[in-house]
Amino acid sequence: MATGPGNTLTLDMAGSEGKILKAAGTLTLNAFGFFQVTGGFAIEQRDQAVTLSAATNAQGVQTAAPTTVNARLLTIGASNVRAFAGINGGTADQVGLELTGANFGLALVSEVAGNGGVVGTPRKWTSLEATAQQVALVGMPEGLTLQANDIKVQINRASQVVPAGAKAAVVDYAAGATAMTVATGPSSGIAFDMPGANGAMLTATGNLTLDAFGFVQVTGGFAVEKRSTTVTLAATRTLPAQSLAVDVLTFGMDNVTVFAGVNGGTADAAGLRIAGIDLALALVTSQAEPGRKWTALQANATSAGFVGLSDLLPTIRNLSVELNQASRANDRVIDFSAAPLTVLIGPGQTVDIDIDGAAGELVRVEGDITLQLFDFAYLSGRIGFEKYSPTAPITLATATGVPQQVTATSMLAITGQGVSVFVGYADGGFDTSKTPDQQAGNLYGFGVSSADFGILIAKAGGQSYTAAKANLAHVALYGFDPNDFELSASDLQLEINRADANGRSIDFVRSFGAGGLVLGSTGAIALDFRGGDRIGVFAREAVLKVSDFLYFRGAIGFQKADFGNTLRAGNNGLTPVLGAKG
């Protein structure tokens, strides 16, 4: 086509693209040095067939199969964008927020009638994919760094209003479905790849770096996501489990390292360091009742401890945090063990929130702790703290035999799993990879090997209740010649369930089911007392030997229960000897 004397323009638009209207170029904007944008851009309107995902109702039943419809597209794209907001933009003295290497494609999709389109009110969809090399604070004082890298944003939504819990069809960009490339400049484009099977989605991922003068340092991946799904509310003694349609906003962190102290990042660092953090936070809102909300958090860290400080401070590995809360008083929590919630925590990384809702509202912190005080005392094992708020009343056993229900205002538990303790002297030093029993020949002192325990303090009806259970694999005094002195116990068990001033005590089976209240993440301890004031100590085998004068070996137990304040003692297979051997 001639465009003037000696000039021509070749039209090379492919007919397969249908009707198109397109503009592309390079944009530069500078608003008084405060806001600056440079990069390629493109705007296009065209007709294209798109494939939709299936639609479902609130019960998850498919109401519309995947289908292909004709649509009119308005797309807006940009490539290799640099944006700045702040002061002195474009100079060596600039201070503000800078975005570099950004690319995005936005598609506004409207259904049209004919050839698969539906006659009537046209449906509309919005899709966006964006990436950025870096977003950072620039011009900050030396030593202060805040930047995010490898950012990716994906949005795929339908404008159609559907009943609570139902899922509208969205455009499916998976392989073999809708092929969509949005022009982002004169010769560039971005291809969408959001699968329709994910439903409506809004996600953002990237990697974050923060360094505040070497005092606070944070590095790792992050993710934010908003979507609709279905969760299961926990069953209670009076209510069955319930499926509920909800909107979920999640925030995740992937392989994050946090340091707080001095000289961070150097060999002279001193402070608190937490490494290998994976965190999943879910903010859940009922679609039918927006004022009804829940919060759940599940986090793990490979290690936590103090660096460059006294060896007296403990080190913690495999730290875990669990939180499951309801915003309304006395509302049920979500039972994630029935249907785990998958949370995006970083680029390509997910974590499943799978907290059991059986105990009601829960806050739990656990970690494998190692503490050594010089060469005198040593403790290792998994120690935890838990706070429960049962959504249903607990049952008290009474002196009259008539159960009584009261509301528990708080329940605090301290747990230990696989705990070993030694106090004394270790010849050649204490081997932290072994229990006291595994290195008995080198020890002089008192030791406990492989103990599991749980201690519960409950507040209910204006009264306090204490219950505890412990299983100790082996307890002994070490360092004595066994021919002269020996004192030990194997499979030692401690059971406590204290009553209040009115003789009432917690019936854990009636309150929490046949298994009682399970403490700790591994379920090593379950408080399954049926009620009644109780203190008991039992050992499968106890040994006491004093030279050739006194010898005692056998199973033994002591118990104080509701037997008229009588102390009961028992033994099994007992071998007592008193006096010199004949």
Q: What is the pLDDT of residue 7?
A: 78
Q: What is the pLDDT of residue 223?
A: 95
Shared-domain flag, residues 454 and 568: yes
**pLDDT tens per residue across span 476-498:** 999 888 888 888 899 999 999 99
Q: What is the pLDDT of residue 376?
A: 83
Shared-domain flag, residues 284 and 425: no
Domain assignment present for 273? yes
Q: What residues contact 335, with CB distance under 8 A and at least 6 apart?
A: 232, 233, 234, 235, 241, 356, 357, 358
The whole-angstrom separation of Cα 453 and Cα 469 is: 6
**Phi and psi angles of residue 131, each rounded to the nearest 5 degrees, phi first:** -135, 155
Shared-domain flag, residues 492 and 540: yes
Mean pLDDT value of segment 189-203: 91
Domain assignment present for 214? yes
Residue 297, Cα to own-chain centre: how many angstroms? 4
pLDDT at 567 over 50: no
Shared-domain flag, residues 306 and 426: no
pLDDT at 13 over 80: no
Domain assignment present for 1? no
Shared-domain flag, residues 217 and 238: yes
Mean pLDDT value of segment 94-123: 81
Domain assignment present for 370? no
Mean pLDDT value of segment 459-488: 90
Q: What is the pLDDT of residue 448?
A: 94
128 vs 61: which has the higher pLDDT: 128
Mean pLDDT value of segment 415-438: 89
Give the chain's length: 582
Give the residue from 153, 170, 199 where a domain finishes.
199
The answer to whether the beta carbons of residues 211 and 257 sit under 8 Å apart is: no
Domain assignment present for 3? no
164 vs 356: which has the higher pLDDT: 356
Give 473: exposed, middle or buried? Use CB within 10 Å, 0-12, 13-18, 19+. middle
Domain assignment present for 181? yes
Shared-domain flag, residues 353 and 483: no
Range of lowest pLDDT (59-63, 413-417, 461-465, 481-485): 59-63
Give the residue from 199, 225, 247 where a domain finishes.
199
Q: What is the pLDDT of residue 178?
A: 94
Give the residue from 291, 326, 358 where a domain finishes.
358
Mean pLDDT value of segment 34-52: 90
Shared-domain flag, residues 212 and 192: no
Mean pLDDT value of segment 63-85: 91
pLDDT at 575 over 60: no
pLDDT at 350 over 90: yes
Q: What residues contact 263, with CB distance under 8 A and at least 6 apart?
A: 214, 269, 270, 308
User: Could you give the angle at the alpha carbon of 346 between the alpha carbons of 341 and 349, nearest 5°?
Assistant: 60
Q: How many CA atoms lie within 13 A of 298 on its CB side?
A: 17
**pLDDT tens per residue across span 383-398:** 999 998 887 789 999 9
Shared-domain flag, residues 229 and 295: yes
pLDDT at 469 over 90: yes
The whole-angstrom separation of Cα 42 and Cα 78 is: 6
Shared-domain flag, residues 395 and 313: no
How many percent of the chain have pLDDT more than 70?
92
The alpha-carbon radius of gyration of the chain (Å, integer) is 33
238 vs 278: which has the higher pLDDT: 278
pLDDT at 581 over 50: no
Domain assignment present for 258? yes
Report how many domains make up the chain.
3
Shared-domain flag, residues 171 and 262: no
Long-range residue pairs from 92-96, CB within 8 A, at least 24 positions apart, any chain: 93/139, 94/138, 94/139, 95/138, 95/139, 95/140, 96/137, 96/138, 96/139
**pLDDT tens per residue across span 266-314:** 888 888 889 999 999 999 999 888 899 999 999 999 998 888 766 666 7
Shared-domain flag, residues 275 and 143: no
The amino acid occupying position 580 is A
Cα separations (Å) of 78 from 29, 151, 393? 14, 15, 59
pLDDT at 582 over 70: no
Q: What is the pLDDT of residue 64?
A: 86
DSSP strand pairing (2-4 vs 7-8): antiparallel
Mean pLDDT value of segment 336-349: 93
Q: What residues contact 237, with CB distance under 8 A and at least 6 apart?
A: 392
Q: How many CA atoms lie within 13 A of 225 on its CB side?
A: 29
User: Could you give the angle at the alpha carbon of 320 between the alpha carbons of 318 and 323, nearest 5°?
Assistant: 175
Domain assignment present for 5? no
Mean pLDDT value of segment 104-117: 80
Q: What is the pLDDT of residue 430?
A: 84
Shared-domain flag, residues 346 and 433: no
Q: Which domain holds residue 443?
A: 375-582
